[in-house]
């Protein structure tokens, strides 16, 4: 009887038999999870007005829930992202946390008191979110690619752009034909379908399946040429380096706008005297341009160093984020397009900066350490913008702050680049 060798086709799993590299399956899973996870934020911008009117809450009450969710995500990330460094850890973490999020969304449809909303949407949903979509796109997808990492991360994170393009107008139509609590139930079902079942397809890294990054099988023969050397820095080593803390400051300043401005896009256009339906169109335009520019940013990320890319994104956002202060009428829709382009670049660059400097092996633990401060800054931006409107009836002050923060992030990235020595070749 003929003996099967490790290289024999009979011993290959279905992952190897696909007509394309299995890493793109991981990218597709990340895409769906980003759609579901960020779709919650986009939908909240549309749901906030009918919830506020029906329950007698303020805008700050509702967006305080989002702020709590963002802060709880930082705690969840510290707890869960380390599982990305263990075999089967990402799959189990995403399946469990995805189920928790879906249930919390369903229960959110029944809230009557603001503390219930803060608990379910803020605390429970947020803690679980720390081990969900960000774990896949930030700590798993980069492990599967080296040459095409920029395009892979861009494609995975594109799910958030598609959500912004589709969900605001869809949810606005659903609320108009039904009510806001039905919208939460629909989001719960959508989240379960797009995250819990696909979690079973997640694998930590190509080496776990006998593959190598970007495609192919791991060399088994001693005569096969070894892969290019790969430097990976441990979480302990990263924490003791100056560049790690400079990057945290850079990312924190940049992230200030990436959550606050898009999440409050629809209310900001209502401030500009747009109807709720026309304000939802602004979020759709944001999503369209975020989506259409994502591949451009991914292509650039594969061609130029990510530190230069991140600094350039900071300059772009510094110039564009305050523009809504002076725009009015239909020309204000240009603002939504510019923000979509800028935030798209920021999402791609942030997803690449950690493997760029520290490698793949300990990516989960490093990202878990790096997330709390940027997340706190994101949460502060949401609170700043909602309270700015409640107190002054406008977003002028908070939008100016967003632009200043983006400019400071570019300056910090330049400073970090001067401090950094030899980067980790990931």
| pLDDT averaged over every residue in the chain | 83
Question: Distance between CA 398 and CA 404 in Å, rounded?
Answer: 10
Domains of the chain: 19-217+229-419 (1.20.1250.20)
Structure confidence at residue 419 (pLDDT): 64
Measured in whole angstroms, how far is the alpha carbon of residue 137 from the centre of its chain? Answer: 7
Has residue 426 got a pLDDT over 60? no
Q: SS in 3 state form for 57-113?
A: CCHHHHHHHHHHHHHHHHHHHHHHHHHHHCCCHHHHHHHHHHHHHHHHHHHHCCCCC
Has residue 177 got a pLDDT over 50? yes
Q: Mean of the pLDDT values across residues 181-187?
A: 92
b/e sequence 89-123, b meaning 16+ C-beta within 10 Å: bbbebbbbbbbbbbbbbbbbbebeebeebbbbbbb
Structure confidence at residue 134 (pLDDT): 72
Structure confidence at residue 230 (pLDDT): 59
Query: Model confidence at 386, in pLDDT bands (50, 70, 90)?
Result: confident
Structure confidence at residue 341 (pLDDT): 93
When mean pLDDT is compared across 84-88, 303-307, 417-421, the lowest value belongs to: 417-421
Percent of the chain exceeding pLDDT 70 equals 91
pLDDT in tens, 132-146: 777 788 788 888 988
pLDDT in tens, 34-55: 888 888 877 887 888 889 889 9
Has residue 13 got a pLDDT over 50? yes
The pTM assigned to this predicted structure is: 0.72
Task: Count CA within 13 A, CB hemisphere, residue 409.
Answer: 35
Has residue 229 got a pLDDT over 80? no
Structure confidence at residue 217 (pLDDT): 52
Q: Which two tokens stand for residue 341?
A: 């382009």
Q: Mean of the pLDDT values across residues 15-36?
A: 89
Of residues 181 and 383, the one with the higher pLDDT is 181
Count of CB atoms situated within 10 Å of the CB of 407: 17
Structure confidence at residue 380 (pLDDT): 81
pLDDT in tens, 257-294: 776 788 788 889 989 988 877 887 887 888 788 888 88
pLDDT in tens, 60-118: 888 888 888 878 887 887 777 777 777 888 888 888 888 999 999 999 999 999 999 99
Has residue 199 got a pLDDT over 60? yes
Of residues 295 and 121, the one with the higher pLDDT is 121
Structure confidence at residue 224 (pLDDT): 45
pLDDT in tens, 201-224: 988 888 888 888 887 655 544 444
When mean pLDDT is compared across 86-95, 118-127, 363-372, the lowest value belongs to: 363-372
């Amino acid at each position: 009887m003929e003996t099967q060798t490790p290289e024999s086709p009979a011993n290959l799993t279905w992952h190897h038999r696909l007509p394309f590299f299995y890493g793109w399956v991981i990218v597709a899973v990340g895409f769906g999870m980003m759609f579901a996870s960020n779709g919650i934020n986009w939908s909240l911008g549309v749901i906030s007005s009918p919830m506020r009117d029906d329950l007698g809450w303020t805008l700050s009450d509702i967006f305080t829930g989002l702020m709590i969710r963002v802060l709880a995500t930082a705690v969840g990330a510290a707890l869960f992202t380390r599982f990305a460094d263990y075999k089967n850890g990402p799959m189990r973490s995403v399946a469990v946390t995805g189920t928790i999020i879906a249930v919390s969304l369903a229960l959110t449809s029944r809230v009557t008191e603001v503390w219930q909303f803060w608990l379910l949407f803020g605390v429970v949903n947020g803690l679980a979110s720390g081990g969900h979509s960000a774990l896949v796109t930030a700590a798993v997808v980069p492990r599967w690619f080296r040459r095409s990492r920029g395009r892979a991360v861009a494609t995975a994170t594109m799910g958030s752009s598609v959500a912004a393009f589709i969900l605001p107008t869809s949810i606005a139509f659903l609320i108009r034909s039904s009510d806001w609590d039905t919208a939460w139930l629909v989001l719960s079902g959508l989240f379960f379908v797009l995250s819990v079942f696909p979690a079973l397809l997640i694998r930590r890294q190509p080496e776990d399946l006998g593959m190598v990054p970007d495609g192919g099988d791991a060399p088994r023969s001693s005569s096969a040429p070894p892969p290019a050397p790969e430097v990976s820095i441990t979480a302990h080593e990263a924490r003791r380096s100056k560049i790690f803390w400079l990057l945290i400051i850079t990312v924190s300043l940049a992230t200030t706008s990436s959550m606050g401005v898009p999440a409050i896009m629809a209310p900001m256009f209502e401030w500009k005297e747009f109807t709720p339906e026309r304000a939802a169109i602004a979020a759709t335009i944001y999503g369209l341009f975020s989506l259409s520019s994502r591949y451009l940013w991914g292509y650039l990320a594969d061609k130029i160093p990510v530190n230069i890319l991140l600094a350039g994104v900071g300059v772009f956002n510094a110039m564009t984020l305050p523009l809504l202060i002076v725009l009015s009428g239909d020309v204000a829709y240009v603002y939504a397009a510019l923000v979509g382009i800028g935030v798209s670049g920021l999402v791609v660059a942030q997803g690449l900066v950690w493997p760029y400097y520290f490698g793949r092996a300990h990516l989960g633990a490093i990202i878990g350490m790096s997330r709390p401060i940027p997340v706190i800054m994101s949460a502060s931006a949401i609170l700043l913008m909602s309270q700015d409107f409640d107190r002054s009836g406008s977003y002028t002050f908070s939008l100016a702050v967003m632009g200043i923060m983006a400019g400071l992030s570019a300056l910090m990235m330049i400073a970090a680049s001067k401090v950094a020595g030899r980067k980790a070749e990931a």
